[in-house]
Amino acid sequence: MKPIIQIAGLIDQNEADLLIKAGVEFLGFPLRLPVNKEDLSEAEAAEIIKTFPSNTKAVLITYQNDANEIVQFCRQLAAEYIQLHGEISVEQLQRVKELNTKLTVFKSLITGKYSLNELKQTISETEKYVDAFITDSYNPKTGATGATGQTHDWSISRELVEFSSKPVILAGGLNANNVYDAIKTVKPAGVDSHTGVEGEDGRKDSLKVQKFLSESKRAFAELTK
């Protein structure tokens, strides 16, 4: 499996163009969020996704937990990848796969909010119905379980990678300066960054994106040696 390098939290078409030109293949759209404010509207996201070349993947990041609503939302945005970041039952996960067999499903594993044993239990209960897991960091001050800009104990993610029969993507406070060490430590199937490649103005920074990509690719290449 080719390593996944995902950048999430696009603001507009200009950012999408910047990321695609840099070579990012997975672009994440966080929408219908319980804590953080959306970066753009659902209509704007749908229009941007229409412009994607065939090798660019739109990943809908949502906290929804009803299978029918999830599948309809993906259809509305023409997204074939869904990152389920909230609480969702095993039954609803199974239903998502039944309603749309073409959807690729990423299921979040929130470190800090749940213990290692609880996260392993989640993997055991849900891995039959997901294509990959994605770890992320919990911010107890805000209640946010994504886009916190905070790292977590990478040894936990490393253990989850070893435990899971499905690929595990690493997220949580990753940036161009720490992603190499993170990959070498955790040995994930992919990485994700949101705030870690942004400038002070909150927009994606071209140099940070390029360095994040090069450092990620360097680390993944060394893992395969």
Question: What's the distance, CA 119 to chain centroid?
Answer: 17
**Could you tell me the two tokens for 120?**
């392993």
CB 59 within 8 A of CB 28: yes
Report the pLDDT averaged over residues 167-173: 92
Number of domains in the chain: 1
Residue 98 has pLDDT above 80, yes or no: yes
| pLDDT attached to residue 138 | 58
Percent of the chain with pLDDT over 90: 76
| pLDDT attached to residue 150 | 59
pTM for the predicted model, two decimal places: 0.91
CB 4 within 8 A of CB 189: yes
CB count within 10 Å of CB 59 equals 22
Output the domain CATH number for residue 17: 3.20.20.70
Alpha carbon distance 24, 16 (integer Å): 9
pLDDT confidence bin for 225, thresholds 50/70/90: confident
**What does the pLDDT look like over 146-168, one tens digit per residue?**
555 555 688 899 999 999 999 99
CB count within 10 Å of CB 26 equals 20
CB count within 10 Å of CB 178 equals 16
CB 83 within 8 A of CB 61: yes
Which domain, by its residues, includes 158?
4-223
| pLDDT attached to residue 137 | 62
Residue 49 has pLDDT above 60, yes or no: yes
